[in-house]
């Protein structure tokens, strides 16, 4: 180490200049030959590749490739499905399916001119109106309660609150695609409406399709979601013959799209491969437009309850619903 009073001798300006020139000239010459060699051997290599594009807003909440709408197969069971109640093979339970598992229409599909009725199951105010909601109404092949209170998680998160949140999220997605979205209730009614009024909402709105959103109250040991399809009912005031086939097609799209968006497995305590056909629901018996129900999960099951109380998962649920409705309206 050199001390403070012991400096190295200075070189003259001429010597310094000579040294610099001697060092620079060979380097420049070598660089020129290298560039010429590169330029003549591979012109493309001499041009720097542009940086990869970064898409603004490419990732939305609740997506896997993010939020790609799903267009499921037309068969009643998806490719690679497991026995009843299982998720499709290779898809981890409770995680979103990998991108491209099912063909998908564009998330930006134009739904201008289309009308969709969303039916948030139950009503937060039903608890305070037992007389009104217990009134019996005609559903064609029998009578049912006007409405019910719905279920809830062990922690008290109600089905009515869940359905309103998810349908509002789905409405935002569908409206952004140009659709007109009509609600049967938006937390703006003290109770109800009754199931027969909910069923009429599709015809009253001149809707193309309707969907009723629910959370199930099954046995605590059971988990998973399922879609309820209408059975053909021609009895009394009910005749849903015209909507059974398109409703079943909608149900397949919804089952596969919801699973792809959320990773939720098919219900292992009810239904078959995530599908259940029923003739006892006024909302399906009396509907004049294609309609299905979705039970998004079992709120009495601790794992399902954790998912359904997570806002991010609810956004995924809304995405699966919106994408399935979009696929239904743009592929037929």
| Two structure tokens written together for 103 | 């063909």
d(CA 43, CA 323): 46
Helix, strand, coil percent values for the chain (each to nearest 5): 35, 15, 50
CB-count burial class (<10 Å; 0-12, 13-18, 19+) for 86: middle
Element (H, E) at 295: strand 291-298
Helices (H) and strands (E) in the chain, counts: 8, 10
Pairing of strands 238-239, 209-216: unpaired
d(CA 88, CA 273): 9
d(CA 181, CA 300): 30
Q: Is 192 left (phi over 0), alpha (psi -120 to 50) or beta?
A: left
* Annotated catalytic residue, options 159, 197, 264, 295: 295
d(CA 185, CA 270): 28
CB-count burial class (<10 Å; 0-12, 13-18, 19+) for 146: buried
d(CA 234, CA 257): 30
What are the helix (H) ranges across 51-208?
130-134, 159-176, 195-204
CB-count burial class (<10 Å; 0-12, 13-18, 19+) for 175: middle
Q: Is 295 a catalytic residue?
A: yes
d(CA 75, CA 78): 7
d(CA 80, CA 59): 28
The catalytic site residues sit at 295
């Amino acid at each position: 180490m050199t001390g403070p009073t012991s400096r190295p001798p200075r070189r003259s300006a001429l010597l310094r200049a000579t040294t610099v020139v001697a060092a620079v000239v060979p380097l420049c010459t070598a660089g020129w030959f290298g560039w010429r060699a590169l330029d003549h051997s591979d012109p493309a290599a001499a041009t720097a590749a542009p940086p990869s594009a970064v898409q603004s807003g490419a990732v939305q909440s609740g997506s896997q490739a993010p939020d790609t709408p799903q267009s499921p197969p037309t068969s009643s069971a998806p490719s690679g499905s497991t026995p009843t109640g299982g998720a499709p093979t290779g898809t981890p339970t409770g995680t979103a399916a990998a991108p491209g598992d099912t063909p998908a229409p564009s998330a930006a599909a134009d739904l201008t001119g289309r009308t969709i009725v969303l039916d948030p199951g139950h009503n937060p105010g039903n608890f305070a109106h037992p007389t009104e909601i217990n009134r019996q109404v005609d559903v064609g092949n029998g009578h049912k309660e006007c409405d019910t209170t719905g279920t809830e998680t062990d922690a008290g998160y109600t089905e009515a609150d869940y359905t309103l949140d998810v349908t509002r999220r789905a409405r935002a997605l569908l409206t952004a695609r140009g659709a007109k979205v009509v609600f049967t209730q938006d937390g703006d009614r003290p109770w109800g409406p009754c199931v027969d009024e909910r069923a009429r909402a599709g015809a009253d709105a001149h809707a193309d399709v309707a969907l009723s959103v629910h959370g199930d109250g099954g046995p605590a040991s059971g988990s998973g979601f399922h879609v309820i399809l209408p059975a053909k009912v021609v009895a009394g005031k009910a005749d849903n013959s015209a909507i059974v086939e398109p409703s079943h097609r909608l149900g397949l799209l919804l089952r596969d799209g919801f699973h792809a968006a959320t990773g939720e497995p098919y219900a292992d305590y009810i239904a078959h491969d995530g599908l259940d056909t029923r003739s006892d629901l006024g909302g399906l018996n009396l509907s004049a437009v294609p309609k299905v129900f979705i039970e998004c999960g079992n709120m009495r099951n601790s794992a399902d309850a954790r998912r359904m109380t997570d806002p991010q998962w609810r956004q995924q649920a809304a995405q699966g619903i919106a994408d399935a409705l979009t696929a239904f309206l743009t592929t037929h």
